[in-house]
Structure 1
Amino acid sequence: APTSVHWHGALLPSGMDGVGGLNQKVIRPGETFKYEWTLHQHGTLMYHSHHDEMTQMAMGLVGMFVVHPRNPRAIPKVDRDFALLLHEWLIRPGTERPDPNAMEGFNVLTINAKAFPGTSPLVVKRGDRVRIRLGNLSAMDHHPFHIHGHYFKIAETDGGRIPEAAQWPETTVLVQVGSTKVIEFIADNPGDWACHCHMTHHVMNQMGHGIPNLVGMDTAGFDPRVQKLLPDYMTMGHRGMDDHGEHVEMGHMAVPKNSIPMVGSYGPHDYITMGGMFTILKVRERLESYDKDPGWYENPPGTQTTQATPEELRRDGISA
């Protein structure tokens, strides 16, 4: 199919801007076009098809690119620098590819084209200065990106670097469609910390949109009848989405071809009922390598929540 490439956020000559038909001839199959311009800015930029956008961006013709300043002292030095592209897809269970005509009902939400538990953890050492570049090229949805266990400062937007005196602390930053945000913080709190979009349906995969749930009801015998028509379907029973994930993980429920469980996988303590636009910030005192997953964090004695004993409940005047 014909295409073109738009350099989203870049200041460049009109003839290099990449809008098919407006700034250039479209690039037809078998052709190679070149884009050349002098970079007069630094920051976090994106690129995407600008010909038949609805189809081509929905199929994944998107990306990020980072322009570093010529003077390295122009921005603070960091120890870890991550780029996370947020995207959404409608992939109907059992199908081979995304539906490019979708305007709603997006059911796979990704970070760098991966949905949890397939996302890569963000591995850092305690005391590291961390920069996370967030870009959103989703079709329709904004993403409030939230990090547990740390405050961060919003350091850059599409318009460039925010003066340090004007930066403000947050735990959640809204990344609108077509925009970038850059956050920075000191990783001073060891542990495994969730990083995710705070739209609750964006941390689930391939939701059964439009199908009623039966949370809190006895659904015995209901699922087998529905699954004759919808092989991937499972009601939200007494424990909500928790049931679905564990049944898939234990092999009690088949997942259709080219599909993934609605929610994540087992963690160190129990099942993690998160999927989609979710990853883990892993802060460690010591690391063999930034490129190696250090595994699950072991909480020091006295810092792990545990079940309250009957004696503790009575002491606090709580009826068991």
Structure 2
Amino acid sequence: MMNRRQLLGASAAGAALVSSTAWSKTTNMGLPDAALMESPLTQAPLMPSSGPDYNPVVTLNGWTLPSRMNNGVKEFHLVAEPVERELADGMTAYLWGYNGQSIGPTIEAVEGDRVRIYVTNKLPEHTTVHWHGLILPSGMDGVGGLSHPAIPPGKTYIYEFDLVKSGTFMYHPHADEMVQMAMGMMGFFIVHPKDPAFMPVDRDFLIMLNAFDIDPGSYVPKIMTMNDFNLWTWNSRIFPDIDPLVVSKNDRVRVRVGNLTMTNHPIHMHGYDFEVTGTDGGWVRPEARWPEVSIDIPVGAMRAYEFDAEYLGDWAIHCHKSHHTMNAMGHDVPTFIGVDKSKLTKKIRVVQPEYMPMGTAGMADMAEMSMELPNNTIPMMAGWGPYGPLEMGGMFSVVKVREGISAGDYSDPGWYENPPGTQAYEWTGELPELAKATDAATTITPAPLKASSNG
């Protein structure tokens, strides 16, 4: 992290940016440091240095905003600004975010804290910050024109309030909201219980579901898109460049998933069942929790679930809308399954020798072939595992459960080696008699064409 105060000008000039309106006055002697993060990798959690103890959260491919104490108030400094975010290796998006990143840094505090959040606007238009789900005074709610005047470019406003409940909350603009959220402005606000013995876990992960519509070869999202997004991301990151969730065997694990996209997402985790323990409205009472292996996250909502990491292995975690585990989706691509394109391929290769016919036997070949792509574009299907292509993208990662992972260690342990006798294998012996349906309405479709070298 870097000190960004120099980007605000001299410290005296930066302090002068504070709004003179009555609601934002403070006895503070100057702005807190505006920390900056440039790495797209998961950063180590920030351990509490004062006040009640808590186990800090880990923002997948993100980081936690540092704070300072000032006369009993916990102070943060958010900078709303244009950012360049590496969505995946080989693809960067020109977004709007906070403190150098989209999504913005996680704000982390404790129930009972009084927080003071400086928000400096370095965008070309006004902005605000709405504290989604938090209980606070009306004038601090962040709806431009309703709660308070919008923050003009170049100005700094202060939000100050008491944290009266613990839970998982979000922050995002409520001024030109459609544009600013489509450009990537959002983040998490975590309030830990003041009693460390309430709902303790060993690992606590944050995933923000967000999406962009960026044409292949371009850099800026299309802000008017309502449904046909082509890049589905976690914390503004795309598989195979989403970091794994690394846990130690027998850890109690919490995963908090927020959704600020335009559609719902059924998040499915392999290898485990889990209990839903929280929403953005609060914690779910023990008698009201329910078991799941998939949990649907509505638009504008959060769900937290917990499990005990009993089973070693590499376990997929992903959105179960299959198009959301694909990248750079094209919505007008025809289906060629079963089509013989061999004659057409010969004709096209007369004028385009590099032409590669695809799709006649499904789309799996897209994960294996290296096709030339426009600059700043990623393939629809990507990622390699220990046994071949994973044929995934977008909203996908891996929960990696291992023996002996140290507390605070979130580094990738590599691929899991399945013990002998616990992995599927090829059978070359005699097959049992094949059972067939006898219903006359059921027929067996012709076998698909085998892919050939010429398509």
Could you state the TM-score of these two structures normalised by the residue count of structure 2?
A: 0.64
Letter in 1 for 2:415: W
Indicate yes or no: 2:250 matched with 1:127: yes
Are the counterparts in 2 of residues 223 and 233 from structure 1 also a CA contact under 8 Å? Answer: no
Letter in 2 for 1:257: N
Residue in 2 aligned with 1:19?
143
Aligned ranges 1:1-320 → 2 under 5 Å: 1-75=125-199, 77-138=200-261, 140-220=262-342, 221-222=344-345, 235-238=358-361, 240-248=362-370, 253-287=371-405, 290-309=409-428, 311-313=429-431, 316-318=432-434
Task: State how far apart, in whole Å, the 2-side matches of 1:7 and 1:195 are.
Answer: 28
Could you list the per-position Cα deviations for residues 63-92 of structure 1 after superposition, in whole angstroms to 9, with x for gaps in the alignment? Answer: 1111001111222x1110001001111111
Task: State how far apart, in whole Å, the 1-side matches of 2:348 and 2:215 are.
Answer: 21
Task: State how far apart, in whole Å, the 2-side matches of 1:29 and 1:21 are.
Answer: 15
Query: Residue 197 and residue 47 in structure 1: after superposition, are their counterparts in 2 closer, same or farther (change >3 A)?
Result: same
Are the counterparts in 1 of residues 131 and 141 from structure 2 also a CA contact under 8 Å? Answer: yes
What is the Cα deviation at residue 291 of structure 1? 2.4
Which range moves more in the overlay, 256-265 or 41-50?
Answer: 256-265
Are the counterparts in 2 of residues 241 and 273 from structure 1 also a CA contact under 8 Å? Answer: no
Task: State how far apart, in whole Å, the 2-side matches of 1:233 and 1:37 are.
Answer: 59
What is the Cα deviation at residue 184 of structure 1? 0.3
Query: Residue 286 and residue 181 in structure 1: after superposition, are their counterparts in 2 closer, same or farther (change >3 A)?
Result: same
Are the counterparts in 2 of residues 195 and 280 from structure 1 also a CA contact under 8 Å? Answer: yes
Query: Residue 234 and residue 223 in structure 1: after superposition, are their counterparts in 2 closer, same or farther (change >3 A)?
Result: farther
SS of aligned partner of 1:35:
strand
More strand by share: 2
Task: State how far apart, in whole Å, the 1-side matches of 2:168 and 2:308 are.
Answer: 20
What is the Cα deviation at residue 247 of structure 1? 1.1
What is the Cα deviation at residue 218 of structure 1? 2.9
Letter in 1 for 2:181: M
Q: Any gaps of 5 or more consecutive residues in structure 2?
A: 1-124, 436-455
SS of aligned partner of 2:257:
strand
What is the Cα deviation at residue 225 of structure 1? 5.0
Query: Residue 154 and residue 302 in structure 1: after superposition, are their counterparts in 2 closer, same or farther (change >3 A)?
Result: same
Query: Residue 274 and residue 71 in structure 1: after superposition, are their counterparts in 2 closer, same or farther (change >3 A)?
Result: same
Query: Residue 232 and residue 158 in structure 1: after superposition, are their counterparts in 2 closer, same or farther (change >3 A)?
Result: farther
Which range moves more in the overlay, 170-179 or 213-222?
Answer: 213-222
Q: CA RMSD in A?
A: 2.2
Task: State how far apart, in whole Å, the 2-side matches of 1:261 and 1:80 are.
Answer: 32
- Structure whose CA Rg is larger: 2
**Count of residue pairs brought into register by the alignment:** 307
Letter in 1 for 2:277: A
Task: State how far apart, in whole Å, the 2-side matches of 1:3 and 1:299 are.
Answer: 51
Task: State how far apart, in whole Å, the 2-side matches of 1:219 and 1:184 are.
Answer: 49
What is the Cα deviation at residue 264 of structure 1? 2.0
What is the Cα deviation at residue 244 of structure 1? 1.2
More relative contact order, 1 or 2 (CA 8 Å, 6+ apart): 1
Could you list the per-position Cα deviations for residues 72-119 of structure 1 after superposition, in whole angstroms to 9, with x for gaps in the alignment? Answer: 1222x1110001001111111111111111012101011111110010
Percent identical residues: 48
Task: State how far apart, in whole Å, the 2-side matches of 1:243 and 1:121 are.
Answer: 25
Are the counterparts in 2 of residues 208 and 233 from structure 1 also a CA contact under 8 Å? Answer: no
Task: State how far apart, in whole Å, the 2-side matches of 1:268 and 1:318 are.
Answer: 32
Are the counterparts in 2 of residues 223 and 235 from structure 1 also a CA contact under 8 Å? Answer: no
SS of aligned partner of 1:15:
helix
Could you list the per-position Cα deviations for residues 165-189 of structure 1 after superposition, in whole angstroms to 9, with x for gaps in the alignment? Answer: 2111100001001000000000111
Are the counterparts in 2 of residues 213 and 236 from structure 1 also a CA contact under 8 Å? Answer: yes
What is the Cα deviation at residue 246 of structure 1? 1.2
Are the counterparts in 1 of residues 345 and 355 from structure 2 also a CA contact under 8 Å? Answer: no
SS of aligned partner of 1:265:
strand
SS of aligned partner of 2:256:
strand
Letter in 1 for 2:412: D
Q: Any gaps of 5 or more consecutive residues in structure 1?
A: none
Task: State how far apart, in whole Å, the 1-side matches of 2:386 and 2:379 are.
Answer: 19
Are the counterparts in 2 of residues 83 and 132 from structure 1 also a CA contact under 8 Å? Answer: yes
Are the counterparts in 1 of residues 247 and 410 from structure 2 also a CA contact under 8 Å? Answer: no
Task: State how far apart, in whole Å, the 2-side matches of 1:232 and 1:162 are.
Answer: 55
Are the counterparts in 1 of residues 348 and 355 from structure 2 also a CA contact under 8 Å? Answer: no
Query: Residue 161 and residue 216 in structure 1: after superposition, are their counterparts in 2 closer, same or farther (change >3 A)?
Result: same
